[in-house]
Structure 1
Amino acid sequence: MIRPSNTLIGFLNFLTLLASVPILGAGIWLAHRASTDCEKFLERPLIAVGVFLLVVSLAGLVGACCGVSWLLWLYLLVMFLLILLLFAFTVFTFVVTNKGAGEVLSGRGYKEYRLGDYSNWLQKRVNSSSNWNKIRSCLVDSKVCSGFASKYLNDTVNEFYLENLSALQSGCCKPPDSCNFTYVSPTVWTATASSGTTDPDCLTWSNDQNTLCYNCQSCKAGLLDNLKGDWKKVAIVNVIVLVVIVIVYSIGCCAFRNNREDDAFMGWKRRP
């Protein structure tokens, strides 16, 4: 007779097994259909997560429902390591996203962002040429600035300055205010005799719609500010997931104990 804890673990792992199929399928589909660096960046993590969930859920399902103790022990070991990993990642996320915020400008509806305000670890990631080239490709593919240009196309300069721009729009799609460029349109600005050049981003800016400020420090800072908000949301979700996994792990321990007791009972019955 299957105990309640074994039944519950089996049911939960059956649900996880079902969830792993579309995740794995999405990764395989991207591997064959991805045409951009941004899409290709997602395929391997999706396949890895799908395979991991598939293998672990099968081990938990068979171990709990079929009384295979060594499989259930392996399942619990993986769950324990996952708990440690999630805990460490959650703490790390809160630490690296603790620094950094946009600078409020007088008479502007948007903020501006400085790369030096963010944690050194995040700065190193975006200052890596190989990393930034992939990120830049994703930003171009997602049409962050083309949509921005269309949305504010009819704004006068005063109207534009009062717009509530996102961190990516402010950092990547326009030059920093310190450059004192003359506004023509949201993504077209001209340098004047009074334009400042102390900020390296002023020299990096280009009116070419595929360049703009994608290579600027302000764009990297805007991305980090956006990432900071997303990572904090992920950290909160991780805390919830961690609580759920700890509960499942506790139930799994009960199921493992049941298996051991059943094995001991069967061994006792076989004695002459």
Structure 2
Amino acid sequence: MPLSNNLTAFMNFLAFMCSIPIIASGTWLASKPDNECIHLLRWPVVFIGIAIMLVSLTGFIGAYWKKEGLLGVYLVCMALLIVLLLVLLVLAFVVTGTTGAYMVPGRAYREYRLEGFSHWLRDHITGPDNWGNIRACLADSAICLKLNYQYVTAEQFFAADLSPLQSGCCKPPTICEYQYMNPTLWINPTHAIVDTDCSIWSNDPSQLCYSCDSCKAGLLGNVRKEWRKSILILIITLVILSWVYLIGCCAYKNTLNKANSKGHK
């Protein structure tokens, strides 16, 4: 068997094995409570892992048993997969280039503003067509109520490392100057409201700040955080698959040359 075929079979076997932790990490990411309400972003890593598994298995069989047809299908699918990964990588960089996070004096957590995020994220995730379902999902989840079991005093809560979603949806913005009673119960201040979210906040567990712009911004902050984690995986995967594809091209060329030489005999 030509060296390029051996290398292609070996590299695709490694790619096949690497797809298993990719699928596992994607499943874990999709199962996190912070992501359960964003259907658009729950399963891309899993789908990429499954695609890599199937394509690498095709390449391994085609290279190891010198199947010209399978190698051809493998190269086409691998090229499409590389282009898809490249598009996803560029999109991830573009939509996560800005952040709406800002520090709050005396607080360990950050708060978030909608205008600090890309228009694409704001339009496709927190737009009027999607937010109703996301808001209902957040209200049904336990992401805010579980804070009541984790923090008792105001000092504990203000020193907490809240997720962007918890910071934006589970409490009123700090600028409202509400008085802390527990993580989801706050006393309305007596001075004039300084932000529209201040009047939207409700101590009703089914309401809280789920209709606030700060909640939408917190959701986008969470999306940005998860996409940033995925960028490194995408870069490593893209580099590996590009090398596997180049070696696969050599294997396919060798297989064609061998088939042509037999045909001339």
The TM-score bracket by the shorter chain reads 0.7 to 0.9
1:234 aligns with 2:230: yes
Number of residue pairs aligned between Structure 1 and Structure 2: 256
Residue in structure 2 matched with residue 78 of structure 1 by the alignment: 77
Residue in structure 1 matched with residue 90 of structure 2 by the alignment: 91
Deviation at 1:141, TM superposition (A): 5.8
1:251 aligns with 2:250: no
Q: Which has the larger radius of gyration?
A: 1
| % identical equivalent positions | 41
Residue in structure 1 matched with residue 33 of structure 2 by the alignment: none
Secondary structure of the residue that 2:186 maps to in structure 1?
Answer: strand
Residue in structure 2 matched with residue 126 of structure 1 by the alignment: 125
2:220 to 210, 219, 224: 224
Unaligned runs of 5+ in 1: 31-36
Give the alignment's TM-score, normalised by structure 2.
0.80
Give the alignment's TM-score, normalised by structure 1.
0.78
Deviation at 1:11, TM superposition (A): 4.2
Residue in structure 2 matched with residue 33 of structure 1 by the alignment: none
Deviations 1:84-117 (A, max 9, x none): 2222221221121111242222233332211111
Secondary structure of the residue that 2:106 maps to in structure 1?
Answer: coil
Secondary structure of the residue that 2:149 maps to in structure 1?
Answer: helix
Secondary structure of the residue that 1:145 maps to in structure 2?
Answer: coil
Secondary structure of the residue that 2:62 maps to in structure 1?
Answer: helix
Point out the more displaced range, 77-86 or 249-258. 77-86
Residue in structure 1 matched with residue 187 of structure 2 by the alignment: 190
* Runs of 4+ that moved beyond 6 A: 39-44
Change (3 A) 1:173 1:86: same
**Alpha-carbon contact 1:181-1:195 (below 8 Å) kept:** no
Matching of residues 1-272 of structure 1 within 5 Å: 2-14=1-13, 38=37, 52-53=51-52, 55-136=54-135, 139-140=138-139, 143-152=142-151, 154-156=152-154, 160-196=157-193, 198-269=194-265
CA distance in 2, matches of 1:211, 1:253: 57
Amino acid in structure 1 at the alignment position of 2:147: F
Point out the more displaced range, 135-144 or 43-52. 43-52
Amino acid in structure 2 at the alignment position of 1:146: L
Deviation at 1:136, TM superposition (A): 3.7
Deviation at 1:220, TM superposition (A): 1.4
Point out the more displaced range, 140-149 or 70-79. 140-149
Amino acid in structure 2 at the alignment position of 1:155: T
Amino acid in structure 2 at the alignment position of 1:169: Q
Unaligned runs of 5+ in 2: 31-35
**Alpha-carbon contact 1:180-1:194 (below 8 Å) kept:** no
